[in-house]
Amino acid sequence: MKPLVIFGAGDIAELAHYYFTTDAGREVAAFTVDRAYLPDGDFQGLPVVAFEEVAQRFPPDTHDMFIALSYTKLNRLRREKFDAARAAGYRLASYVSSRCTYLAPNPPGENGFILEDNTVQPFVSIGENVTLWSGNHIGHHSTIEDDVFIASHVVVSGGVRIGEACFIGVNATLRDHLVIGPRCVIGAGVTLLADAEPEGVYAAAAAERSRVPSSRLKRI
């Protein structure tokens, strides 16, 4: 396996470095960011180079890249850097945790980031540039299209199609055989029982503070 260059110098880049080196056995050679965001000094004991120069210092014929960004701008920023790295000639590496139950027939597309305790059932299809944070259930015969970010403890029932560039929040539940249109935001704790139109935003009602303070509760 080629050494890896990680795009990013924040929390997700730090996590990617940890997972790739400790679990996947990959060597990380450097980090890269746009020149305008170049920090002083190194990161995780490794050099941080300007993306505009990375192909000269860590060429794509001898290095792979991973884009360690979140769902900023509804995943568009991660897609922009993915496309730029691919255009520069890099292969985009994927990570699937050894603590993930992955039963799908094919691996995820490039730049996948699938963390521990995910259950990916048989006949699931996962596109490129998809992040599955820890602890999700992805039901059989479901399809996750490109550029999706799924937070933790989401239940995707069987036969669901999630369109490109969606964000699915913590503890959301998607009923079986739904179609989630592209660029939807499904908020934390939402239970979705019907198809979601493209660019839909779905939010659960937030909990309200009780008028009774905790000091007056008698049964706790």
Domain ranges of the chain: 4-87, 94-201
> Whole-angstrom Cα distance, residue 84 to residue 35?
14
Q: Write down the pLDDT at residue 218.
A: 80
CB atoms within 10 A of CB 20: 21
Other CB atoms within 10 Å distance of the CB of residue 56: 8
**CA nearest to 127, candidates 77, 181, 95, 163:** 163
pTM as predicted: 0.95
What homologous superfamily is domain 94-201 in, according to CATH? Hexapeptide repeat proteins (2.160.10.10)
Tens digits of pLDDT across the chain (220 residues) = 999 999 999 999 999 999 999 999 999 999 999 999 999 999 999 999 999 999 999 999 999 999 999 999 999 999 999 999 999 999 999 999 999 999 999 999 999 999 999 999 999 999 999 999 999 999 999 999 999 999 999 999 999 999 999 999 999 999 999 999 999 999 999 999 999 999 999 999 989 999 999 988 887 7
Structure tokens at 158: 């069987």
Tell me whether the CATH fold assigned to 4-87 matches the one assigned to 94-201. no
Q: CATH top-level class for 4-87?
A: alpha beta
